[in-house]
Amino acid sequence: MRFSDLSIYLQKLEKTASRNEITQILAELFKKSTVEEIDKICYLVLGQLAPNYRSIVFNLAERMMLQVIAKAYGRDIEKVKEIYKKVGDLGNISQKLSRSYEGSVFSVTEVYNHLLEMAQDEGQGSQERKIEKMADLLSKLNPLSSRFVSRIPVGKLRLGFSDKTIIDALSWMETGNKSKSGVLEKAYQVIPDVGLLAQKVRKSGIDQAVKNMKPEVGVPILPMLAQRIKSTKEMIEKMGLVFVEPKFDGLRVLIHFKRGGQDDFVKAFTRNLNDIREMFPELTDIGKYIDAKSVILDSEAVGMDPEMLKLADFQTTMRRRRKYDIAQKAKDIPLRFQVFDIILKDDKNLMDIAYSKRREILADTIKPNNLLVIDEKILTDDPAVINKEYRERIAQNLEGVIVKKADAYYVPGRTGWRWVKMKEEESASGKLTDTIDCVVMGFTVGKGKRAVFGLGQFLVGVKDGDKFKTLTKVGTGLSDEEFKKFRKQMEEYKVKDKPKEYEAEKIYTPDFWIDAKFVVELAGDDLTKSPTHASGFGLRFPRLVGFRNDKAPEQATTLKELQKLFQMQKM
C-alpha cells in the first residue's frame, strides 16, 4: 500500500467522531493491507512504531520538529515558530508548507522503516542526524502525508482511538460485526501487541490466530485487577471459598525471569506495560531465590522506611522509578516484592489453573528470602473472618485486604467476581469507599497566589470506551512546590483544541487542554449525580491523593466502575 493511500484513511479517521464509523474505516483499511504491512499500519494509526512495551521513542521535542519543518521546506525557523504559535499543530504547518507531490511513490513499509531507523538512532550526534533524516523524509512526502508523519515523532497523531478499537476492527474485517472482539481481546491481554495479532488474523483468520496464545517471558501480560464489593457477606455469596490477603500500598510489578548461561534474563513490567527493570538492581540475582528455569510472578513492590523500620507509602516507593542515582535510591528506599501469584513456570502456562493450585506452585517455586516474599493468606468462607482480617491489616497501616476466589483462573483485566479489594469502610469515615483514578484533561491558570504557579485547578475525567468524560475539577492536595512541578510537566502536553476523545460541557472548558498523559488518584466525600459533567457524576470535596505514574490513561477508572461505586455508597 502507498503511504499516500494510508494518509487518505488517516484523514477520514481524523474527521470521524463515531466509534462505529472509525471501526468500519479501520476494517476496510485492514482488508486492503497485506500480511507483511498490516502490523506496521496498526502501529502507525496509533502514532507508534511498536507495541507499548517495546518503548521505541524518537526523543524529538516539538522545538526540534519545528527545526525539521523549517529545514524540510526551506523556511526561516523564526517564521515557522510564528506560524506554530498561531496554528498550534505541527501537522497543519507541514501540510501548509509542503509543496512536494512525490509522496505517492513511498510505500507504507518504506515510510515506517525510515521512521524506525530514525527512532533507533542513538549516540553522539544522533539528534542532528534525526533532524536531517526527518527533514529529508518530509520534503519527499505529499502535503497530506506530511500532515500525519510530522505528528508521530512527538506522539501527537491524536486520531481518538486505542488498541481496543483496532481489536473491534479486526473482528469487523472478518465477520462484519464485533462478535469476535471478545476472543481477540483475550488473546491481546496475554500478548499485548495489536500489530502481531493483526498479522496473525490477516494470515490465517481469527480462530486460528487466537489458538495457543500463552504468556511468554519478556512479553508483559495485562495484569488481573480487583473489583469492588461493599459487603463481606456479598463477597462470600458471589465467590464462595476465598483467600484473604493483605493489600499493600505499593507498585504493581510483574517479574519475568529466565535462567541463562552467564547472565539470567530478568524484566520487570508495570501494569501499563513499561519495563522498569533498570530501576530495581535488587532483581539482578533473584535466580538464587527461584527454583525454576523460568517464571512470571505477579507482585507488589513495597518500599521500606529504614529509619522508621516500617513500610513506606506509595509516593515514597514511586521515588524508586527515577532514572538517575538508582544505586543511591536503592540504599535510601530498599524494596521487597510481595509476591502473590505465578502465571508461568518452566514455560508452562498456569493461567487456566485454579488460584489455590497456583499458590501451591508458588510456594514450591520461591525459596525463603527477604526480597521475594510470598503474601500471607487465610482461607475462609466466613464474612466475619474477612472483617476481622481487614481490621487487623488497617491497624498495621496497610490499605486493607484483597479477597480472591479460591478456584479462580488468572484472567487479565477487571472482569467477574474473582478478586475483590476491601479498603476504607464507609461506615467508619463517612467517605467514599474507594479512591478514583482519573485522567487529567486540562487546567486553569489560577488566581492570586495560584496565578504565580500558572495552575489553579485541573479538570479530570474517567474512561468510557475510547472516550474520557469529565468528573470534577481539583485544586487541593498539592503543596506549592508540587503545583509548580506538575504545571511544568503539563506544559509539554498542551494542545490548542480539545482532543477528540474528550467529552466536556462548555462550562468546564479549561484555559488549556492537554493530551491524556497523567493519571491522578482522587478521594472525595461522595459521588453525586451531575447534569453538567459528561460522566453524569460529580465528586464532592475532591482531594488529590497522589500521582499514579504506574498507570496509563487506558487504566483509569471506568464509567462502569464509577456507577458501581455510586450504587455501593447507597447500600
Domains of the chain: 227-423 (3.30.470.30), 436-568 (2.40.50.140)
Model confidence pLDDT, tens digit, residues 119-175: 999 889 999 999 999 999 999 999 999 999 999 999 888 898 999 999 999 999 999
- In tens, the pLDDT along 39-69 reads 999 999 999 999 988 878 888 888 899 999 9
Sorting pLDDT into bands at 50, 70 and 90, what band is 429?
Answer: very low
Alpha helix segments (H runs only) across 338-424: 355-365, 383-395
pLDDT in tens, 295-312: 999 999 998 765 545 677
Cell of 269: 513490567
pLDDT at 241 over 90: yes
Rg (CA), the chain: 25
- Please name which of 68, 75, 80 lies closest in space to residue 115, comparing C-alpha atoms: 68
Side-chain-side CA neighbours of 198 within 13 Å: the count stands at 33
Mean pLDDT, range 169-187, rounded to an integer = 96
Interacting residues of 121 by C-beta distance below 8 A, sequence separation 6+: 129, 130, 133
Q: Establish whether 85 is a catalytic residue.
A: no
DSSP 123: S
Given pLDDT bands bounded at 50, 70 and 90, which one contains residue 484? confident
Q: Is the pLDDT of residue 91 over 80?
A: yes
* The pLDDT value given to residue 265: 96
For residue 430, the model assigns a pLDDT of 39
CA dihedral 563, 565, 566, 569 (to 10 degrees): 160
Whole-number percent of the chain with pLDDT over 90: 65
Measured distance CA(182)–CA(390) in Å, rounded: 35
Q: What is the pLDDT of residue 322?
A: 64
Contact criterion met (CB below 8 Å) for 197 and 173: no
Q: Which of 132, 85, 113, 111 is nearest to 5 (CA)?
A: 111
- End-to-end CA gap in the chain: 57
DSSP output for 397-416: T--EEEEEETT----SBS-S
| d(C-alpha 145, C-alpha 3), whole Å | 7
CA 504 to chain centre: 22
Pick 241 or 399 by higher pLDDT.
Answer: 241
Q: Give the tens place of pLDDT for each residue, 339-391.
A: 999 999 999 999 999 999 999 999 999 999 999 999 999 999 999 999 999 99
**Residue among 521, 523, 530, 511 at smallest CA distance from 551:** 521
Q: What average pLDDT does this structure show over 6-20?
A: 94
Residues in CB range of 85: below 8 A, 6 or more apart: none
| Residue labelled with grid coordinates 521475594 | 372
Average pLDDT over the chain reads 90
Q: Which three cell numbers stand for residue 40?
A: 506496521
Rounded to whole angstroms, the Cα distance separating 181 from 166 reads 10
Please spell the DSSP secondary structure of 4-56, one letter per residue: HHHHHHHHHHHH---HHHHHHHHHHHHHHS-HHHHHHHHHHHTT-SS-GGG--
Q: Report the percentage of the chain scoring pLDDT > 70.
A: 93
**CA separation for the pair 195, 199 (Å, rounded):** 6
Residues of 42-79 as b/e, b for ≥16 C-beta within 10 angstroms? bbbbbbbbbbbbeeeebebeeebbbbbbbbbbeeeeee
Residue 422 has a pLDDT of 86
> Which residues are paired to 335 by β-bridges?
303
Which residue, among 129, 140, 4, 121, has the nearest Cα to 72 in the 3D structure? 140
Catalytic residue from among 130, 156, 164, 247 = 247
Q: Nearest-5° angle of CA 112, CA 116, CA 118?
A: 120
> Strands, E, within 106-241: which ranges?
227-228
Local confidence band at 478 (pLDDT 50, 70, 90 cut-offs):
confident
Distance CA 490, CA 456 (A): 13
